[in-house]
């Protein structure tokens, strides 16, 4: 997953003493409660940019439809009329097979037809005579039926001879000419003049031409793992690049995802088909590409490196961190919600003072425990805007529960640690979209854009 666009976080590694100046160092030490004076802080600036959440995969470019042409009769290749990359139309002759032996067979079969027709005509006259004799009771019924049966046999032999002649003529006039069934282009030619081909009904037969219907519309066959396949939807935007064309970025749209899984080394994946436009002809069949399925995208998001959301000051105790986080979170509540949160906070403090919770509980709870007083307060969800909706866990109508707010830490003008509470939205791993917690009815970025926050802290020996 990669960040696209104009976001370029400003990183500056400054010694804390140099930042505040020698005159403020003592005051700063008091604000930090004397902790980690030798720490070195790395800062970053909250800025706006484009962020995407993507699913990465690889794929192969293929024509939308290919046709393999097999011969309908066996024989020697007499002539070939097309070659690789030739444009073809339906019914166009691609190759011609030798028909010398077939023409001889046609002559022989024609003689068989003449013979069978003569026998049939003779027997027909004989049967007519037998019928007249039977009318005068000069022959038995058996002799009449025998005459009729012989006539039927001669008729069947004539039909079989005529059918065989028609089959030979069909091979000479049609099957000997291998034609194109589609309008497209020749991708592959597997025969040369003089080769012998085998009838497609034989198990030894193989394709002699591979045709593509249309290379202006191509498709990518990509495989997506079972953990990510639920994120792939039809008509989803896709971006892909090719090693053979560095610097070029192409787009496509998901056409379908196949339900038949592929299992290799206990890894399950599913085939996803992506339609792409190739009117310029730059995409060739068989090219491999790197694919990114765009799950979410925001072109005007407040962005901060994800590491800044994981930072917690080493110079503050757990109690001090909890207090600052709680006070910062109150800014996003109305009067009633603020009073409820304060009440929960007092209940927690009372329970801890009475020993209702073990000492280990507070350590294991961490940030989630600090934010417990705000649970269930839906008004903390930021108002308005697509990015805000995402950050509140409501994007795409999923109705997901809003993610808990998280602190961004900074150093105020007096050298003390402070934090601002934000909700997180799209993340590409390296960077995360943030939306500030604002009082009900307020909108905007809450002064976050351009704000310098702590990215990480290094302890000096």
Tell me the pLDDT tens digit for each residue of 363-404: 444 444 444 455 444 443 443 344 444 444 444 444 456 678
- The residue-averaged pLDDT of 444-449 equals 85
pLDDT of residue 30: 34
pLDDT tens-digit map of 72-121: 999 999 999 999 999 999 999 999 999 999 999 999 999 999 999 999 99
pLDDT tens-digit map of 157-198: 999 999 999 999 999 999 999 999 999 999 999 999 999 999
| CATH code assigned to 58-64+212-299 | 2.40.30.170
Q: Domain spans of the chain?
A: 12-51+301-458, 58-64+212-299, 69-210
Secondary structure in 3-state letters for the chain: CCCCCCCCCCCEEEEHHHHHCHHHHHHHHHHCCCCCCCCEEEEEECEEEEEEEEEEEEEEEEECCEEEECCCCCEEEEEECCCCCCEECCCCEEEEECCHHHHHHHHHHHHHHHHHHHHHHHHHHHHHHHHHHHHCCCCCHHHHHHHHHHHHHHHHHHHHHHHHHHHHHHHHHHHCEEECCCCEEEEEECCCCCCEECCCCCCCCCCCEEEECCCCEEEEEEEEECCCHHHCCCCCEEEEECCCCCCCEEEEEEEEEEEEEEEECCEEEEEEEEEEECCCCCCCCCCEEEEEEEEEEEEEEEEEEHHHHHCCCCCCCHHHHHHHHHHHHHHHCCHHHHHHHHHHHHHHHHHHHCCCCCHHHHHHHHHHHHCHHHCCCHHHCCCCCHHHHHHCCCHHHCCCCCCCCEEEEEECCCCCEEEEEEEEEEECCCEEEEEECCCCCCCCCCCCCCCEEEEEEECCC
Which has more pLDDT, 408 or 38?
408
The pLDDT-based confidence of 70 (bands split at 50, 70, 90) is very high
pLDDT of residue 374: 53
- The residue-averaged pLDDT of 139-168 equals 95
């Amino acid at each position: 997953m990669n960040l696209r666009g104009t976001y370029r976080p400003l990183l500056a590694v400054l010694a804390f003493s140099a930042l505040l100046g020698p005159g403020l160092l003592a005051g700063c030490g008091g604000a930090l409660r004397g902790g980690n004076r030798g720490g070195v802080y790395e800062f970053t600036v909250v800025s706006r940019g484009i962020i995407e959440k993507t699913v990465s995969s690889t794929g192969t470019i293929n024509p939308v439809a290919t046709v393999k042409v097999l011969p309908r009769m066996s024989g020697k290749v007499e002539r070939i009329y097309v070659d690789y990359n030739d444009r073809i139309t339906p019914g166009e002759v691609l190759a011609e097979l030798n028909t010398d032996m077939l023409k001889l067979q046609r002559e022989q079969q024609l003689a068989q037809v003449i013979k069978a027709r003569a026998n049939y005509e003779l027997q027909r006259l004989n049967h007519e005579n037998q019928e007249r004799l039977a009318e005068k009771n000069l022959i038995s019924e058996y002799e009449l039926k025998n005459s009729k049966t012989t006539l039927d046999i001669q008729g069947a032999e004539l039909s079989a001879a005529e059918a065989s002649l028609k089959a030979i003529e069909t091979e000479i006039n049609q099957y000997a000419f291998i034609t194109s069934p589609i309008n497209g282009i020749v991708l592959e030619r597997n025969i040369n003049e003089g080769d012998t081909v085998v009838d497609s009904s034989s198990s030894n037969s193989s394709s002699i031409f591979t045709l593509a219907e249309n290379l202006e519309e191509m498709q990518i066959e990509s495989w997506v793992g079972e953990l990510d396949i639920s994120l792939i939807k039809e008509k989803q935007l896709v971006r892909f690049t090719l090693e053979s064309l560095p610097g070029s970025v192409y787009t496509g749209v998901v056409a379908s995802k196949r339900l038949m899984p592929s299992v290799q080394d206990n890894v399950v994946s599913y085939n996803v088909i992506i339609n792409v436009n190739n009117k310029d002809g730059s995409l060739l069949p068989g090219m491999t590409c790197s694919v990114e399925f765009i799950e979410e995208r925001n072109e005007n998001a407040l962005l901060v490196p994800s590491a800044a959301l994981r930072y917690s000051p080493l110079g503050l105790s757990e109690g001090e961190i909890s207090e600052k986080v709680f006070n910062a979170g109150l800014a996003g509540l109305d009067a009633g919600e603020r009073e409820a949160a304060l009440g929960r906070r007092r209940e927690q403090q009372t329970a801890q003072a009475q020993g209702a919770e073990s000492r280990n509980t507070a350590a294991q709870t961490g940030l989630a425990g600090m934010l417990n007083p705000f649970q269930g307060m839906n008004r903390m969800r930021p108002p308005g805007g697509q990015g805000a909706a995402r950050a509140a866990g409501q994007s795409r109508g999923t109705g997901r529960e809003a993610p808990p707010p998280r602190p961004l830490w900074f150093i105020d003008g007096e050298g003390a640690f402070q934090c601002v509470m934000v909700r997180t939205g799209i993340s590409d791993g390296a960077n995360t979209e943030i939306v500030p917690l604002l009082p009900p009815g307020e909108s905007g970025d809450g002064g976050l854009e351009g704000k310098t926050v702590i990215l990480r802290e290094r302890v000096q020996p």
